[in-house]
Amino acid sequence: MSLRIGTRGSALALAQTNRVVGILADGGIEAEVITVTTEGDTATGVPLHAIGGQGVFVRALDDAILRGEIDAAVHSMKDIPAARPAGLTCSAVLERDSPADFLVHECPLDAVSVIGSSSTRRRAQLLRDAPALEVKQLRGNVDTRVRKLREGQYDAIVLAEAGLERLGLTLPGEALPTDRFVPSPNQGTIAVVCRDDPAVAGAFAPLDHAPTRLDVEIERAVMEEVGGGCFTPQGIYCRDGDLIAEVLALDGSRWERIERHVATVGEAREWGRALRVQAAGLIREAYAALGIKP
């Protein structure tokens, strides 16, 4: 069996895809890597929320699968939006890498005053922790972000620790604690999406890590019930059923949060609905401030 696997062209996306290809090869399955350009890769001069959020990285690959140009695609699972097209399935969730954010800085930590990040969640959490910080927009791949840091445009930048590990990069700084800087849903997780065909999906089954899949399905259930997508600052993280979920004001001045042990996806949905009620005002404020219709 030979598979055509699509990916974005960034170094990180290729590293993730090559990990999947390597595991398939160990099982005797050949795979061809096909690079697909997405709107998120080309429109780097605008905030993500202005072009449709994290889903812009996924949409072009979904379409390529549905057109039959590729059999599957490899994604950072946190980029996959809640609403999914018919005809696709998530055939594998790999064992999770670090879920944490990593603060990269070369100057002393107490000298950091300007931080680069395009994430509304990271911005809100940073400002909650240190309201005097200035958080400036920063888009682009890891190399571009690190170059801008070293050019002095920022004192520090925030990246996903898992991405740095997958690229084999060792940068100065520290991981941010996940209880204070609650990660995005599914951060640190690689997923394989393919057309809903048992023969294709079955080829990826050995890659699936059941404990990770349950944790990330709990996170996604909460995310779907809360709503707001990447437009509303929200962190949702589950490890072995221990769930932390929070929604923040854009400026980090207020937040609503739940911490519970959750055993099933159905239970996660109940807590997601409860958090949506608690955080309804914050979600409305974020949509209004960003000029987005609910």
Residues recognised as catalytic: 79
Distance, CA of 232 to CA of 259 (rounded, Å): 19
Contact 75, 190 (CB under 8 A): yes
Measured CA distances, 256 to 49, 98, 275 (Å): 22, 25, 7
- 224 C-beta neighbours (distance < 10 Å), count: 17
Q: Which residues pair with residue 134 across a beta bridge?
A: 114
Distance, CA of 83 to CA of 71 (rounded, Å): 20
Among 102, 100, 77, 101, CA closest to 90:
77
- 119 C-beta neighbours (distance < 10 Å), count: 22
Q: Which residues pair with residue 116 across a beta bridge?
A: 136, 157
Any idea which residue has 């349950």 for tokens? 214
Distance, CA of 294 to CA of 273 (rounded, Å): 17
Q: Please count the residues of the chain.
A: 294
Going by the DSSP 8-state scheme, the letter that residue 266 receives in this structure is H
Q: Which amino acid is at 86?
A: A
Distance, CA of 209 to CA of 93 (rounded, Å): 6
